[in-house]
Amino acid sequence: MKLLFVADPLESFKTHKDSTFAMMREAARRGHAILACEPRSLRWRQGEPVSATVREISLTGDLDDWFRVEAEHPAFALHQAGAVLMRKDPPFDSEYFYATHLLGQAEREGARVFNKPAALRDHPEKLAILEFPDFIAPTLVTRAAADVRAFHAEHRDIILKPLDGMGGTGIFRVGPDALNLGSIIETLNGGGAQTLMVQKFVPEIVHGDKRVLLIAGQPVPFVLARIPQGSEVRGNLAVGGKGVAQPLSDGDRRIAEALGPVLAARGLLLVGVDVIGNSMTEINVTSPTCFQEIAQQTGFDVAKMFIDALEAAL
């Protein structure tokens, strides 16, 4: 079967930790053909199907010079693939949004796309938690500086973050002294032009910001706790957090069991839920990661579980 990965440039992959690479490696091991393209190559013309310039590759087994181009298809119709996997990393900007519409058109033409394009649009990664208020810390979404100040007065120790950030960018903590709160609000909301999220600080962050992976609605039995280092409040691996794999806690499992069937029914084959303590902070659907870190530390093959689920869905 041909599997088409819509992703960032292959040359940019960090194969020692890249989850898309882990998917490709497991799929190739099973004999599937691996194809890849970037979202910028997607196109549609009236009277023709959605197509892209696609490279068919083989994996070399080398982590640096890791792929070889076997063929290039300048106008490959997406519906010709057995499955299309949308694995473009955030940010979810206008171009990502447009790509989901092209992928939606490809679906109408017969393509099988994972995660489902409409579901990607319907689940912005920070705002998707609002549907599940029983599992989140006190949270505010607003443009208004007065709302943020009132929230801080109530909770005293808060986290502020932009709705379109990734990898921990733009996240601020403000303690009881409210130091720089006004400046931070201005930075994040652009004088009231942009919406931001504010949450009560969860002190369990010292034990890690846990990534709970859901595949076809079922939780991977291990999480990756991304633990802040030094004076850093953020656990994201992109800003130096230390990734430590550990078994699902009872709280993690309760969240997974509540969200898993709901999100899977909407066409989200792979979801990454972020949890601090027992509080959910984000629902990641664009390009969830941590496959390799979990596999390397626990021996549990996340990529195998994912490709099993993908094959079962086709």
DSSP assignment, residue 1? -
The predicted-structure confidence for 103-117, as pLDDT tens digits, reads as follows 999 999 999 999 999
CATH of domain 204-304: 3.30.470.20
Q: What is the pLDDT of residue 235?
A: 67
Cβ contact 164:125 at 8 Å: no
What are the sequence ranges of the domains in the chain?
2-115, 138-201, 204-304
- Per residue in 75-86, pLDDT tens? 999 999 999 999
Element (H, E) at 304: helix 302-313
Average pLDDT over residues 254-262: 98
Kindly list the distances between the CA atom of residue 119 and the CA atoms of 97, 271, 272, in Å, as whole numbers in the listed order.
12, 11, 14
Active site residues: 126, 161, 211, 226, 234, 274, 282, 284
Q: Which residues pair with 197 in a beta bridge?
A: 141, 161
Cβ neighbourhood burial of 203 (10 Å; 0-12, 13-18, 19+): exposed
- β-partners of residue 5 are 36, 85
DSSP type of residue 270? E
pLDDT band at 87 (very low <50, low <70, confident <90, very high): very high
State how far the Cα of 121 lies from the Cα of 195, in Å rounded to an integer. Answer: 18
1 contacts 33 by C-beta, under 8 angstroms: yes
CATH of 2-115, one of 3.30.565.10, 3.40.50.20, 3.40.50.300, 3.20.20.70: 3.40.50.20
Tell me 112's DSSP state: -
SS3 215: strand
The pLDDT mean for the chain works out to: 95
Find, among 237, 269, 246, 155, the residue nearest to 147 by Cα: 155
Task: Kindly report the three-state secondary structure assignment for every residue of 134-147.
Answer: HHECCEEEECCHHH
**What does the buried/exposed string (b/e) look like for 146-161 if buried means 16 or more CB atoms within 10 Å of the residue's CB?**
eebeebbeebeebbbb
Q: Pairing between strand 172-174 and 218-219?
A: unpaired
**Rounded Cα distance, 259 and 283, in Å:** 10
Strand partners, 124: none
Helix (H) or strand (E) holding 295: helix 291-298
> Which CATH code of 3.40.50.300, 3.30.1490.20, 3.40.718.10, 3.40.50.720 fits the domain covering 138-201?
3.30.1490.20
Question: Which of the two residues, 184 and 169, has the higher pLDDT score?
Answer: 184
